[in-house]
């Protein structure tokens, strides 16, 4: 590697940092994004507008954002972790108090022309904050209830706030990301095993607290034909779209399901169905392979970091990416109930795209600064 | 500078182990997703493909092109005109108002058109196109197309709409089309009737031949929402058949112009084959109104007019025939062996039967009157006496032979039968026996006798040809020639017919005839005819004593109806005509003048000799 030794006396220049970015990952991401553009082009009936062109612009912005985040020294991310978490948390409270109700849920707040979805910020802020907190803990200490109480609160309080918005999908991802990081940090199996058992036992109780629409989604998932034209519509139509693709698909621009408007939200959450329909099993498997490749690169970057913060941050971002794919994929294939989670890099949507690209920026920052060692008690709040 | 973190080694070891476990877990999840894809796409793929195909197919009916109605020379009397219009699909524009504003900068948009469009937008689902402007001129339509880049969401479109190019000239023949009403669906199961905006024939030929003209529905397959995103395929349906009429549009125009605005019914027919060449009922209305949508003010004007423009008086108006009934009585008299040569009646201006006095229209009387003079001068006393001798049943039989008192079977709905009374009819209708006085009244075409103008025209044609011709208006429907009966002789003796024709000729061509002043002077084109006046009010004894009021001095609706039947030319008749002018009995006989002009025009044009769109003579 030509890049100067990062533990060395001098800091890297911006140019050196940009060169140090793992461009193989960037190429993979770009390929996946291009598949997304193609799908949006097809859904619009072979036109760039209204979706593909806007999405391309967003991806371009996202790439710049990613490069920018990659160049920020990892120690700065460590310092910014708690403030970012605090701001996200306050925004979550704000959206609860004064949020905009959209699609039956309070998810946005408007700042001038910007629509802010604090739950989206919270995912990465939580990863940052947990990584920072766990960075200062020894493996032996983590399972100490007093030590554990703090990260558990950091996970579950915002998750609860998101859940009551209501946004079951994002709340699930917050909990999954957080628990994943605790697991990686070495949480004792004596905690893990009872927790799994407890969750299983809690399902019937949690059911009582679900919103009607959430219950309905679960019920229709379990028996889609019970409401084939209502809430079961999405599931049934998505399965028909994907299934009718067969081995090789109907061909580019030849999908009848998605283009004839059978699928609601076909350009956002259900975009995978168009891929399945037009490019079939082969195309779908290629996309899954690309996703897996990105995840493996993410894990490799995590393993190569010399700091626990870097490892946890990289792994947290990767896990977050993975959970998106898992939940969205399982949803469109009719394996789990419908929750509002987009397919990363593919689904049309600005916040999701920028959030995912910013996540990759953090991952790249870990990669660029993989040789930086960070002391346990590094930095103050800022 | 950070110190080397000794404890980090164990953290790293744990992290690596657990990351490895997580990687395994993630791989497992991906494997599960892959397995699910395999199941959906490979194992069940065929089923889902079938489901997808069934899914996208939403059948939508497509209205077929409505058949045309043409005159005997192929002139289009009703057709499907291109309707240049502008549609806006609400879901495709940010603001319908702004789109209409933009449109209004290019062509004029009336406030009510704007209101109507906005109302339709509010009423319908956002993907249903709304017609903002319809029936645009080609110039306006072209202007919109040129400016299309500046008109967001505006879609130019070419639809079809029924058009009657000659407007009110033929409205009673053609009828009109209008939106399907609830009653229309009761005995017509055609799915087309459910199409929004579909129009069916409501009157006239449009109604009678609606099933033929309508055609059969086509089918377009689209997506399940009814949104026209892309048509998958289309069966165009079967276009409606064209209907060829016997009408001669040029003659029709002449007749309709000649009748003007009086409340008049007139028909012209061929005495040999029954072809109706013109059929007009005035005043008329514009059938296009009913298609485009009639305003309540227009509707009120049409329904409140005492000249009844909506009524086809030729078929649906029933009138006492008055003296135009006398040829029928004369024929009955000859056939009964009463009105034979040498038979005459003395007219002193009246006839007494029992204690009732029956007056002749001529107060001083006609003196000695034979059949010829009786028809020529329309002597009432002659026909009272003759009717009394032959009796009502023989008169009724002769009248029915001439086509009176029963529907003629012409192909326009709404024809009425009228009444030819006889003893049996009186008994059945009123439950009391026939009175001899009633025979006398019937003998001059009053009392219970009621006929329609088309029956009068038929009567004239039958007297002229001696055959039982019936009026018909439709040559052919599509490729199919309409059946046409071979007309049989009526069964009147040639002598009887000759005597009546000669009397009718004298009406117009011998001095003293009731229509002599309005004869056709052109040699070879002379007409024979019979005038008639139908009383619409009761004349009291007192009034008769002081002199009967002149019609000119009465209010319009109390004046007598004026009638005239005629055929021409007298030596070898080809065309018959009948006219009824409601409350039109005035001294200068405008209705006779009309028939004179019409029959002269008809003969000079001689439509029977012109090459028709369909051959007239054969079969």
Supply the ipTM of this predicted assembly. Answer: 0.91
For residue A260, what pLDDT is reported? 53
The answer to the question of residue A344 being in a domain is yes
pLDDT tens-place string over residues B453-487: 999 999 999 999 999 999 999 989 988 888 777 89
**C-alpha gyration radius of chain B:** 37
Q: A284 or A168: whose pLDDT is higher?
A: A284
Same domain, B188 and B259: no
The answer to the question of residue A374 being in a domain is no
Same domain, B304 and B227: no
Report CB contact under 8 Å: B19, A184: yes
Residues 181 to 210 of A: which have CB under 8 A from any B CB? 183-186
Q: Vertex A24, ends A23 and A25: CA angle to 5°?
A: 90
In chain B, the number of structural domains is: 2
pLDDT tens-place string over residues A142-156: 888 988 999 999 999
For residue A225, what pLDDT is reported? 57
Rounded to a whole number of angstroms, the distance from the CA of B310 to the nearest CA of chain A is 49
Rounded to a whole number of angstroms, the distance from the CA of A143 to the nearest CA of chain B is 13
Same domain, B339 and B434: yes
The answer to the question of residue A153 being in a domain is yes
Domain limit, last residue, from B211, B245, B279: B245
Most confident of the ranges B49-58, B112-121, B230-239, B462-471: B462-471
pLDDT tier for residue A2 given thresholds of 50, 70 and 90: very low
Rounded to a whole number of angstroms, the distance from the CA of B85 to the nearest CA of chain A is 26
Rounded to a whole number of angstroms, the distance from the CA of B48 to the nearest CA of chain A is 5
Q: Which of A241, A319, A373 sits opposite B52 (nearest CB)?
A: A241
pLDDT tens-place string over residues B80-123: 877 788 888 777 777 888 888 888 888 888 888 888 888 877 77
CA distance A165 to A148: 26
Same domain, B182 and B264: no
A336 CB neighbours in chain B (<8 A) are none
Residue A206 has pLDDT above 70, yes or no: yes
For the purposes of burial, counting CB atoms within 10 Å of the CB of B119, is it exposed (0-12), middle (13-18) or buried (19 or more)? exposed
In chain A, the number of structural domains is: 1
Q: Between A and B, how many CB-CB pairs are < 8 A?
A: 153
Residues 207 to 236 of A: which have CB under 8 A from any B CB? none
A330 CB neighbours in chain B (<8 A) are 32-33, 36
Average pLDDT, chain A: 85
The answer to the question of residue A4 being in a domain is no
Percent of chain A with pLDDT over 70: 85
Percent of chain A with pLDDT over 90: 53
Report CB contact under 8 Å: A246, B38: no
Residue A252 has pLDDT above 70, yes or no: yes
CA distance B140 to B109: 11
Left, alpha or beta for B491 (phi > 0: left; psi -120 to 50: alpha)? Answer: left
A242 CB neighbours in chain B (<8 A) are 37, 40-41, 48
The answer to the question of residue B295 being in a domain is yes
CA distance A87 to A153: 16
B224 CB neighbours in chain A (<8 A) are 260, 262
Kindly state the average pLDDT of the residues A39-43.
90
Helix (H, G, I), strand (E, B) or coil at B355: coil
The answer to the question of residue B116 being in a domain is yes
Q: B273 or A212: whose pLDDT is higher?
A: B273
For residue B464, what pLDDT is reported? 96
The answer to the question of residue B33 being in a domain is no
**B17 close contact with A: CB closer than 8 A:** no
**B33 close contact with A: CB closer than 8 A:** yes
Report CB contact under 8 Å: B30, A291: yes
Report CB contact under 8 Å: B37, A242: yes
Same domain, B224 and B283: no
Same domain, B175 and B195: yes
For the purposes of burial, counting CB atoms within 10 Å of the CB of B145, is it exposed (0-12), middle (13-18) or buried (19 or more)? middle
The residue length of chain B stands at 619
B3 CB neighbours in chain A (<8 A) are 375
Most confident of the ranges A124-138, B56-70, B547-561: A124-138
Domain assignment of residue A216, given as a range: 14-368
Same domain, B241 and B256: no
Report CB contact under 8 Å: A246, B27: no
The answer to the question of residue A258 being in a domain is yes
The answer to the question of residue B293 being in a domain is yes
Four-CA torsion B360, B366, B369, B374, nearest 10 degrees = -60
> What's B76's domain CATH number?
3.90.1310.10
Residue B237 has pLDDT above 90, yes or no: no
Percent of chain B with pLDDT over 90: 56
The answer to the question of residue A382 being in a domain is no
**A178 close contact with B: CB closer than 8 A:** no
Rounded to a whole number of angstroms, the distance from the CA of B223 to the nearest CA of chain A is 6
A311 CB neighbours in chain B (<8 A) are 12, 15
CA distance A182 to A177: 9
The answer to the question of residue B51 being in a domain is no
For residue A138, what pLDDT is reported? 84
Report CB contact under 8 Å: A333, B37: yes
The answer to the question of residue B31 being in a domain is no
For residue A375, what pLDDT is reported? 84
pLDDT tier for residue B224 given thresholds of 50, 70 and 90: very low
For residue B225, what pLDDT is reported? 44
pLDDT tens-place string over residues B311-349: 999 999 999 999 999 999 999 999 999 998 899 999 999
For residue B147, what pLDDT is reported? 87
The answer to the question of residue A150 being in a domain is yes
A184 CB neighbours in chain B (<8 A) are 14-15, 18-19, 22
For residue B608, what pLDDT is reported? 84
pLDDT tier for residue B196 given thresholds of 50, 70 and 90: low
Same domain, B312 and B413: yes
Report CB contact under 8 Å: B41, A330: no
Same domain, B466 and B348: yes
A333 CB neighbours in chain B (<8 A) are 33, 36-37, 40
The answer to the question of residue A77 being in a domain is yes
The mean-pLDDT minimum among A346-350, B93-97, B239-243 falls in: B93-97
**A168 close contact with B: CB closer than 8 A:** no
Same domain, B142 and B271: no
Report CB contact under 8 Å: B48, A244: yes
For residue A103, what pLDDT is reported? 47
Most confident of the ranges A229-243, A255-269, B42-56, B188-202: B42-56
- Contact assessment for residue B247 and residue B602, using Cβ atoms and an 8 Å cutoff: no
Which DSSP symbol is given to B181?
P
- Contact assessment for residue A183 and residue B22, using Cβ atoms and an 8 Å cutoff: yes
- Given the residues B316, B323, B465, B505, the one annotated as active site: B323
**B6 close contact with A: CB closer than 8 A:** no
> What's B407's domain CATH number?
3.40.710.10
Same domain, B322 and B197: no
Same domain, B389 and B306: yes
Q: CB B521: neighbour CB atoms within 10 A? A: 9
Kindly state the average pLDDT of the residues B498-526.
94
Task: Specify whether B304 is catalytic.
Answer: no
pLDDT tier for residue A173 given thresholds of 50, 70 and 90: very high
For the purposes of burial, counting CB atoms within 10 Å of the CB of A18, is it exposed (0-12), middle (13-18) or buried (19 or more)? middle
Report CB contact under 8 Å: B16, A303: yes
Average pLDDT, chain B: 87
Domain assignment of residue B290, given as a range: 249-605
pLDDT tier for residue B46 given thresholds of 50, 70 and 90: confident
Domain limit, last residue, from B222, B245, B268: B245
pLDDT tens-place string over residues B136-167: 888 899 898 888 888 877 888 777 788 899 98
């Amino acid at each position: 590697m030509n890049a100067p030794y990062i533990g060395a006396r001098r800091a890297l220049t911006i140019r050196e940092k940009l060169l140090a970015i793992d461009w193989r990952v960037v190429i993979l991401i770009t390929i996946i994004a291009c598949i997304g553009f193609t799908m949006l082009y097809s859904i619009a009936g072979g036109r760039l507008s209204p979706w593909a062109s806007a999405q391309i612009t967003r991806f371009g912005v996202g790439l710049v954002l990613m490069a920018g985040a990659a160049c920020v020294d990892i120690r700065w991310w460590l310092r910014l972790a708690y403030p970012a978490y605090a701001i996200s948390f306050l925004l979550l409270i704000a959206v609860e108090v004064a949020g905009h109700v959209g699609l039956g849920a309070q998810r946005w707040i408007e700042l001038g022309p910007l629509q802010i979805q604090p739950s989206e910020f919270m995912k990465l802020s939580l990863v940052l904050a947990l990584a920072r907190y766990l960075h200062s803990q020894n493996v032996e200490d983590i399972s100490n209830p007093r030590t554990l109480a703090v990260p558990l609160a950091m996970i579950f309080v915002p998750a609860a706030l998101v859940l009551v918005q209501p946004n079951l999908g994002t709340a699930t991802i917050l909990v999954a990301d957080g628990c994943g990081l605790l697991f990686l940090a070495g949480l004792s199996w004596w905690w893990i095993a009872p927790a799994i058992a407890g969750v299983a036992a809690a399902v019937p109780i949690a059911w009582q607290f679900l919103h009607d629409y959430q219950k309905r989604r679960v019920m229709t998932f379990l028996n889609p034909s019970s409401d084939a034209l209502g809430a079961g519509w999405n599931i049934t139509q998505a399965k028909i779209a994907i299934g009718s693709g067969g081995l090789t698909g109907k061909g580019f621009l030849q999908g009848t399901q998605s283009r004839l408007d059978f699928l609601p939200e076909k350009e956002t959450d259900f975009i995978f169905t168009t891929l399945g329909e037009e490019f079939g099993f082969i195309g779908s498997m290629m996309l899954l392979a690309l996703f897996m490749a990105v995840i493996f690169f993410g894990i490799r970057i995590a393993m190569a970091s010399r700091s626990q913060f870097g490892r946890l941050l990289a792994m947290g971002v990767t896990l977050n990416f993975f959970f998106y794919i898992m939940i969205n994929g399982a949803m469109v294939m009719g394996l789990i109930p419908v929750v509002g989670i987009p397919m990363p890099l593919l689904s049309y949507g600005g916040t999701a795209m920028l959030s995912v690209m910013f996540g990759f920026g953090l991952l790249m920052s870990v990669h660029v600064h993989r040789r930086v060692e960070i002391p346990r008690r590094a930095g103050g709040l800022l | 500078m950070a110190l080397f973190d000794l404890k980090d080694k164990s953290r790293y070891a744990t992290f690596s182990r657990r990351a490895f476990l997580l990687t395994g877990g993630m791989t497992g999840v991906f494997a599960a997703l892959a397995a699910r894809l395999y199941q959906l796409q490979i194992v069940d793929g065929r089923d889902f493909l079938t489901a997808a195909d069934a899914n996208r197919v939403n059948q939508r009916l497509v209205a077929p092109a409505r058949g045309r109605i043409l005159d005997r020379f192929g002139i289009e009397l009703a057709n499907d005109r291109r309707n240049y219009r502008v549609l806006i699909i609400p879901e495709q524009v940010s603001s319908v108002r702004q789109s209409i504003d933009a449109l209004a900068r290019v062509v004029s948009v009336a406030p009510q058109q704007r209101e109507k469009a906005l109302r339709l937008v509010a009423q319908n689902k956002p993907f249903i196109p709304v017609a903002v402007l319809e029936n645009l001129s080609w110039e306006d339509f072209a202007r919109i197309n040129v400016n299309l880049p500046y008109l967001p969401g505006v879609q130019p479109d070419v639809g079809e709409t029924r058009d009657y190019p000659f407007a009110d000239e033929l409205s009673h023949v053609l009828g009109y089309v209008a939106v399907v009403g609830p009653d229309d669906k009761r005995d017509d199961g055609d799915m087309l009737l459910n199409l929004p905006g579909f129009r069916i024939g409501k009157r006239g030929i449009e109604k009678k031949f609606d099933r033929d003209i309508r055609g059969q529905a086509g089918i377009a397959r689209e997506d399940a929402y009814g949104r026209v995103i892309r048509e998958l395929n289309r069966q165009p349906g079967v276009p409606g058949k064209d209907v060829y009429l016997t009408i001669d549009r040029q003659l029709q125009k002449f007749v309709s112009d000649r009748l003007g605005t009086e409340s008049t019914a007139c028909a012209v027919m061929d005495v040999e084959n029954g072809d109706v060449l013109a059929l007009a009922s005035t005043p008329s209305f514009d059938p296009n109104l009913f298609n485009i949508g009639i305003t309540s003010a227009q509707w009120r004007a049409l329904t409140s007019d005492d000249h009844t423009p909506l009524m086809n008086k030729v078929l649906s108006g029933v009138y006492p025939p008055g003296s135009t009934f006398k040829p029928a009585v004369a024929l009955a008299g000859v056939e009964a062996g009463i009105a034979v040569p040498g038979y005459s009646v003395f007219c002193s201006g009246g006839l007494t039967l029992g204690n009732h006095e029956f007056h002749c229209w001529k107060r001083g009387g006609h003196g000695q009157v034979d059949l010829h003079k009786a028809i020529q001068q329309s002597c009432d006393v002659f026909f009272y006496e003759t009717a009394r001798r032959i009796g009502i049943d023989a008169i009724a039989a002769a009248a029915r032979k001439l086509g009176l008192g029963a529907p003629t079977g012409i192909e326009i709905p709404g024809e009425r039968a009228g009444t030819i009374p006889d003893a049996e009819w009186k008994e059945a209708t009123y439950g009391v026996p026939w009175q001899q006085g009633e025979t006398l009244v019937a003998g001059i075409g009053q009392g219970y006798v009621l006929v329609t103008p088309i029956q009068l025209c038929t009567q004239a044609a039958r007297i002229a040809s001696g055959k039982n011709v019936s009026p018909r208006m439709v040559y052919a429907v599509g490729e199919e020639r309409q059946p046409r009966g071979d007309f049989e002789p009526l069964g009147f003796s040639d002598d009887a017919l000759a005597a009546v024709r000669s009397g009718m000729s004298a009406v117009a061509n011998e001095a003293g005839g009731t229509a002599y002043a309005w004869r056709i002077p052109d040699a070879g084109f002379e007409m024979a005819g019979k005038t008639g006046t139908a009383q619409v009010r009761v004349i009291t004894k007192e009034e008769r004593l002081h002199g009967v009021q002149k019609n000119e001095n009465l209010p319009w609706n109390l004046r007598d109806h004026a009638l005239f039947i005629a055929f021409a030319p007298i030596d070898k008749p080809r065309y018959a005509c009948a006219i009824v002018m409601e409350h039109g009995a005035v001294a200068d006989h405008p209705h006779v003048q009309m028939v004179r002009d019409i029959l002269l025009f008809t003969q000079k044009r001689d439509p029977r000799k012109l090459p028709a769109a369909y051959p007239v003579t054969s079969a």
